[in-house]
Amino acid sequence: MINREFFQALDELEREYRIPKESMIESIEAGLVSAYKKEFGFSSQISVRLNEEKMTYKVYAHKLVVEEVEDEDSQICIEDAQYIDSKYKVGDVVIEDITPKDFSRIAAQTAKQVILQRINDIKKDMVLNEMSRRQGEILSAIVRRKEGNTVFVEITGTQMEGVMMQSDQVPSEKYNVNDVIKVYIKKIRESLRGGAQVVVSRSSAGFVRRLFEMEVPEIKAGLVKIVNIVREAGFRTKISVKSEDPNVDAVGSCIGNKGVRVNAVIAELGGYEKIDVVEYCDDSIEYIARALSPAQVLLVSINEEEKNAKVIVPDEKLSLAIGRNGQNARLAAKLTGWKIDVKPYSTLNEDSQEATDAE
């Protein structure tokens, strides 16, 4: 069982799966402890040590030195201990070699099962650690199955399962088994079974952020910074950007020549989601006006204390400013952090007239 080929196999596993050889040896030693106890009915503390140089294994029993033995499996009397070595005294632990000549087939099979399980656990931990390091990245995945409204994917090249909850799916998208999709590694969480689970998303604002980082070299180089990004997946995204370099057009960099960059992002999102790229501004009034893009804004008045903004737009642009079901105004409010009340220009005239009449 323990020979040169055995240790060569461990070296091969280390190269192929990047599992440290020391970890595998620890798992194997634990497997042999389990097998020994099952085969020989041994309940006390034992340990197994593999020796690569001699290509052997040794099984050791750990026994406590006592005056009077009550449990022969875990204790040894002082007289017997001192027969082994006169230096032993009560309270010491005697380590005794109890290596059997050979394990039976059942014991070897038990050891094999434990070893394989430990190696699988190590591989899973390594992949999980890799996923933790790649949190916030976009990776390819294959749809493996669907359970109710939850989609389960396999992260390409890792055999790690990812779960995409309904809230992380784009309402307009359909996910079929064996589809290859890009997913955003959202977080690692504890599963109901006590293990870890990779949570992936296609609806997250972080997904769009990473797509822009991939498509726009100026963002990757730090010349353009994403200040904020808000999204209603499948419908609309608003992203505010800025550049400290006056020679760099932050919005133009994200749009690209003839819209090539932003269109590449839209294509990855399914081709239907609208994306508004606006330039960030320290002036709240100007920033709010830009955030309501593509609508034209005539006037913005703000209440700093309550963080409220009243916005006046042309009557014919009111529906564009508010958006379907209030979406454009709602996203603009999230982008800027201001409560935004959009009014048509005609109400401004009415308010002025009412104020005049009151006088």
Q: What is the pLDDT of residues 140-186, one digit of tens each?
A: 999 999 999 999 999 998 778 899 999 999 998 999 999 999 999 99
pLDDT of 357 higher than 70: no
> What is the per-residue pLDDT for 159?
72
> What is the per-residue pLDDT for 351?
56
Tokens of 294: 């593509």
Tokens of 179: 């589809």
Find the Cα–Cα–Cα–Cα dihedral 61, 67, 69, 75, rounded to 10°.
-10
C-alpha separations of 232 from 119, 170, 287, 326, 335 in Å: 43, 9, 20, 12, 12
pLDDT of 350 higher than 70: no
Q: Answer whether the bond into residue 294 is a cis peptide, omega within 30°.
A: yes
Burial status of residue 190 (CB atoms within 10 A of its CB: 0-12, 13-18, 19 or more)? exposed
Q: First CA to last CA across the chain, in angstroms?
A: 103
pLDDT of 334 higher than 90: yes
CA gap 152, 63 in Å, rounded: 50
The backbone region for 91, taken as left when phi is positive above 0, alpha when psi lies in -120 to 50, beta otherwise, is left
> What is the per-residue pLDDT for 194?
56
Longest Cα separation, the chain: 115
32-41, 106-115, 288-297, 313-322: the lowest-pLDDT one: 106-115
C-alpha separations of 350 from 60, 302, 314, 353, 355 in Å: 94, 20, 14, 5, 9
Say what percent of the chain tops pLDDT 90: 62
Across the chain, what does the average pLDDT equal? 89
Closest to 169 measured CA to CA, from 213, 199, 140 = 199
C-alpha separations of 150 from 141, 146, 202, 204, 335 in Å: 15, 6, 13, 16, 29
Does the model's pTM come out above 0.75?
no
pLDDT of 275 higher than 50: yes
CA angle 289, 293, 296 (to 5 degrees): 65
CA gap 15, 310 in Å, rounded: 64
Cβ atoms within 10 Å of 287's Cβ, excluding its own = 22
CA gap 270, 255 in Å, rounded: 17
CA gap 323, 341 in Å, rounded: 13
- 34 φ/ψ angles, rounded to the nearest 5 degrees: -60, -45
Judge whether 276 and 238 are in contact, CB under 8 Å: yes
- 303 φ/ψ angles, rounded to the nearest 5 degrees: -115, 100
Closest to 118 measured CA to CA, from 178, 28, 53 = 28
The DSSP letter of residue 20 is -
Q: In what order do the strands lie in the sheet with 236-242?
A: 225-232, 236-242, 274-279
